Structure 1
Amino acid sequence: MMSNMHLMPAFACRKVSTIKASLLLFVVTGMFCCGAASAQALSVEDDTGHVVTLEKPAQRIISLAPSMTELLFSLGVGDRIVGVMDYSDYPPAALQIPIVGRYDMLDMEQIIALQPDLVVAWLTGNPRTAIQRLKEFGIAVYTAEPDSLLSISDHLLRLGQLTGQHQQATDLSQQLLNRLDAVETQMINAAPVRVFYQVWHSPMISVGGAELIHDMINRCGGTNIFAELPVGPKVNLEDVLLRDPQVIIASGSDRESPAWLDDWLQWPELAAVRDQHLYAIEPDLVQRHSLRALQGMDTMCEMIARARP
């Protein structure tokens, strides 16, 4: 969902991961080539190890994560989505789909009434007891827990198989992998830059080493100053001052920076403040595991590059 303190080994690991993703793409494509003429069931393994099997491509889909909603639209099956989770606001057409719940509560009665043949769930974003109940009702549930840019490729391929959109999934996945390889090549000799990503100000929340934003920072030649911490860590001012980030990036909006970003101006000894590298970025571009994450990565790379000596 790699710390640049060891930049070259990290890039080497990413190269292996890219190869693994490419192999997955080959395997999925091969499965379709070999089985296109048959009426075999469609089966994929989700992120919990559960094998999801459909007799035919899903036609009535419920998405319980905004990021998965975006991926389904990218695959060209937005018109098959009959229910979504709250905050599924992109693309705009998603706003017209009935909402079947929020992160902490699902409307089980509505979900069952919609008669989905596939529910796409989010492991850490949906109530697990509710997901288990859906399975007990005999509903096919694909559970995702993406944690990196490469995982977006994986989910495109698997959802492409479950929806019969294997060619679209293969094309999109390859485009993503090509873009990641291009960025990796650009950053091979780039000097590392210390980065503090601030999700929120009170309490002060950053990102750990197993998150999408960390992956972006790393790929952009940055060093996440809290890479050793778990997901969504609460941090304190003293630690930020001690680690002296060269860039501070805050979750803002598509129109303005958060007011609290300017709070850092009272600490002129910080490299990021002294050299005027305080930035804000639209959260949905860096916190959602969708194809828009590539746009978020490009923006983040530009911000980090400005601070590179």
Structure 2
Amino acid sequence: MRMLSFFLAFFVVFGFFFVIEESLSQDELTKRHRIVTLSPHLAEIVYASGAGDYVVGVIAGTNYPEEATRHPIVGGFSGIDFEVLISLEPTVVLAWEQGNKAADILKLERLGIRVHILSASNLIDLENQVYDVSRLFGTEKIGDELISALKNKALSFDDGLGNDPHRPVFIKIWDRPIFTIGRDHYINEALRLCGLKNVGEQYPFRAGSISTETMLLSGADSILDLTGAKLIDDMKTNSIRHVDRSSFMRTIEGDSELLMRLGPRFLDALEALCADVIKFEDGI
């Protein structure tokens, strides 16, 4: 009887320490990654890939999912707030190659902070970003499921919607001054799936400002408005009096927030744009 009591006591004590050890392991697991994202779309990708619990800081403008809005802001369009970012003690910072300042990334690396740079310059990068993030943080299963869903969504698009040649459009992402999209941007590839062609594809920049005259003489017969607001008519008569404005001022409005972020919801916004293009072509 005494021997039985000894073994029972042994297993109770051993089991107690096993539970403590397992609990500590789980606690350490949640603390092994501390992620800061330097673009709103990267925060979306991290959460959609199953690694949202590791996020400790985000960039200004991050508004999805709701959980991401509760984290400290580590900077904005003008650059990074290094004091705030360092105070969060990140184990890795996710940066956007085409969006973050090279000088800021270099400074982070010189401070000994690990930076993982992700590219978003073409549509395949949407899947590549999910793949990289899920491998970085051990959420491969969730990441692979998301990639599969994105592939299926992409296959549902009919290239150009049967429209050949593509309708030439001018992309407007800001009003004053006029900002547009140029070359090497994923939106150019995406628009072809909706039967559109960005007339600015050959401009010598990814995104930049141009004059009103350049826009008017671009050859576009319509404007894709991605400003997030109603088109502001800043075209003064004295600067364009030689142009017949009525021939090209038809406007297609897109979801600027989603179309300007190559994140998990991008293809949904592109699908909606394609549907609007069909209505536009039919004059609805």
Please give the range of the TM-score, normalised by the shorter of the 2 chains: 0.7 to 0.9
Q: Paired residue for 1:112?
A: 86
Closer, same or farther: CA 75–58 of 1 in aligned 2, 3 Å: farther
Deviations 1:237-272 (A, max 9, x none): 34443444333121243xx524439999x9765544
Is 1:104–1:126's contact at 8 Å kept on the other side of the alignment?
A: no
Amino acid at match of 2:180: S
Alignment of 1:122-271 (within 5 A): 122-183=96-157, 185-187=158-160, 189-191=162-164, 192-229=166-203, 230-253=205-228, 257-260=230-233, 270-271=246-247
Deviation per residue, 1:58-110 (Å, 9 max, x gap): 62111111110111111122221001111111112211101122233323233
1:177-208 CA-partner distances (Å, limit 9, x unpaired): 2222221x453632321211111222222211
Correspondence for 1:59:
33
Equivalent in the alignment of 2:277: 304
> 1:206 aligns to what SS in structure 2?
strand
Of residues 288, 296, 299, the one that matches 2:261 is: 288
Q: Secondary structure at the match of 1:156?
A: helix
CA distance in 2, matches of 1:77, 1:203: 38
Instruction: Give the whole-Å Cα distance in 2 for the aligned partners of 1:94 and 1:260.
Output: 36
Equivalence for 1:279: 252
Amino acid at match of 2:233: W
Deviation at 1:226, TM superposition (A): 1.5
- 1:154/1:261 CA distance change after superposition, 3 Å: farther
Which deviates more from structure 2 when the two are superposed, residues 239-248 or residues 69-78? 239-248
CA deviation map 1:28-86 (0-9, x unaligned)? xxxxxxxxxxxxxxxxxxxxxxxxxxxx9962111111110111111122221001111
Write the distance in 1 (CA, Å) between the matches of 2:236 and 2:270: 25
AA at the equivalent of 2:225: A
Structure with higher Rg: it is 2
Residue 262 and residue 299 in structure 1: after superposition, are their counterparts in 2 closer, same or farther (change >3 A)? Answer: farther
Query: Matches of residues 85-96 of structure 1 in structure 2 within 5 Å?
Result: 85-96=59-70
Is there any run of 5+ residues in structure 2 with no aligned partner, and where? 1-29
Residue 18 of structure 2 corresponds to none
CA RMSD of aligned residues (A): 2.9
Alpha-carbon separation, structure 2, partners of 1:117 and 1:132: 16
Contact kept in structure 2, 1:198 and 1:207, CA below 8 Å: yes
**Identity across matched positions, percent:** 23
Give a deviation string over 1:218-238, Cα, whole Å, max 9, x none: 221211111111211333334
Distance of 2:51 and 2:223 partners within structure 1:
38
Distance change >3 Å, CA 271–CA 178, structure 1 → 2: farther
What's the counterpart of residue 72 of structure 1? 46
Structure possessing the higher relative contact order (Cα contacts under 8 Å, 6 or more residues apart)? 1
> In structure 2, what is the Cα distance between the partners aligned to 1:135 and 1:219?
38
State the distance in 2 between where 1:211 and 1:91 align: 25
Question: TM-score under structure 2 normalisation?
Answer: 0.76
Query: Any stretches of 5+ residues in structure 1 without a counterpart?
Result: 1-55
- CA-to-aligned-CA distance 1:111-145 (integer Å, 9 cap, x gap): 23322111101234334333223323433210123
Partners of 2:236 and 2:48 in 1: CA distance: 39
CA 306–247 in structure 1, closer or farther in 2 if over 3 Å, else same: farther
SS, match of residue 159 in structure 1: helix
Does the C-alpha gap of structure 1 residues 113 and 239 become closer, same or farther in structure 2, counting only changes over 3 Å?
Answer: closer
